[in-house]
Amino acid sequence: MKCLIISFIFGLEKLITMRTVQYREALREAMVEEMRSDENVFLMGEEVAEYNGAYKVSQGMLDEFGPKRVIDTPIAELGFAGIAVGAAMNGLRPIVEFMTWNFALLASDQIINSAAKMLQMSGGQYSCPIVFRGGNGTAGQLAATHSQSFESFYAHVPGIKVVTPSTPYDAKGLLKSAIRDDDPVLIMESEKMYGDKGEIPDGEYLIPIGKADVKRKGNDVTIVSFGKIIKVAHQAAEVLSKEGISCEIIDLRSLRPIDYDSVVESVKKTNRCVVVEESWPLASISGEIAYHLQRHAFDYLDAPVLRVMQSDTPFAFSKVLIEEALPNVKRIVDAVKSSMYVS
């Protein structure tokens, strides 16, 4: 599906063709385009080649680039993450796909102690341009060990960048920027988003890492979120709009670095903030946002910063307990109303 958008640049009309793609297709386009333009870029991971990727993100890439640049690895995350670090130190630009970030716990030593620290420990002699990417967060009835969100876990570590695209447009633009970045970049995707559809423009575009996006404009309350749970925030905003409450939704997109300025500017307008996050409460991104707002926008706040989080427990298998654990429309609506002192 295609549509046309007319934009005005320096007084000239420019016709932009938009087309609808799946989230997985946007990721694939980003990798293919960068691999075509830079022979040092390659993809490695479990089942990325012969099987076309566990979620078909790399479909067709083996046929185009061959087994030297699209590499199936053993089920040994620590091992192939270490190979990627060595490759990056020697001038290549690996893209490492994990089936899920839950499995990447096995590779965390290479990510945190090698990739993140290499530039500093080598005195600037070795950069480490790697992209680590894969599914993150909950994905149905996969129980405790396969349902964890790691954004704040890795955002805690200096030396790496963490991004979590919530749309196909963001996925392509951020992944292309990540591949070109000279630092390690972690892309937190979601198994539940790979089939999501959205519009992207024909031709090349980049989205800078570290820049949030206002997904919905509003005046009464700022809702800050990221990743797939932002879809629930949009549903809540629709419910609230029918009651005359106007919500502004900010998609952080990047969790290290965080675009604090965009959040502060929004709160200066709305004077209230609710953070929606699919993660445990302690040491979370929401806690960091709340601290920054009380430090840099205290005089603009008419109510405490509230947050809607995942329950502080290991994730359950039961559907009933899953629904109870995750942020939902009612909890977000209640938080927004509480910040406005209405019932």
Burial (CB count within 10 angstroms: exposed 0-12, middle 13-18, buried 19+), residue 295 = exposed
Residues of the chain with CATH 3.40.50.970: 2-201
State which residues of the chain have pLDDT below 50.
Answer: none
Indicate the CATH number for domain 2-201. 3.40.50.970
Residues of the chain with CATH 3.40.50.920: 213-339
Separation in Å, CA 265 to CA 42, 194, 262: 39, 32, 5
Q: What is the pLDDT of residue 139?
A: 86
Q: What is the pLDDT of residue 197?
A: 96
- What DSSP designation does 112 have? I
Q: What is the pLDDT of residue 16?
A: 79
CA atoms within 13 A on the CB side of 48: 30
Q: What is the pLDDT of residue 5?
A: 57
pTM, two decimal places = 0.93
Q: What is the pLDDT of residue 343?
A: 81
| Sequence-distant contacts of 47-55: CB under 8 A, at least 24 apart | 47/72, 47/99, 48/72, 48/73, 48/97, 53/97, 54/99, 55/24, 55/135, 55/191, 55/194
Catalytic residues: 77, 146
Assign a CATH topology to domain 213-339: Rossmann fold (3.40.50)
Q: What is the pLDDT of residue 140?
A: 84
Q: What is the pLDDT of residue 13?
A: 59
- Report the relative pairing of strands 161-163 and 185-189 from DSSP bridges: parallel
How confident is the prediction for the chain on average, in pLDDT?
94
Identify the bridge partners of residue 19 per DSSP, sorted by sequence position: 2, 200
Q: What is the pLDDT of residue 116?
A: 97
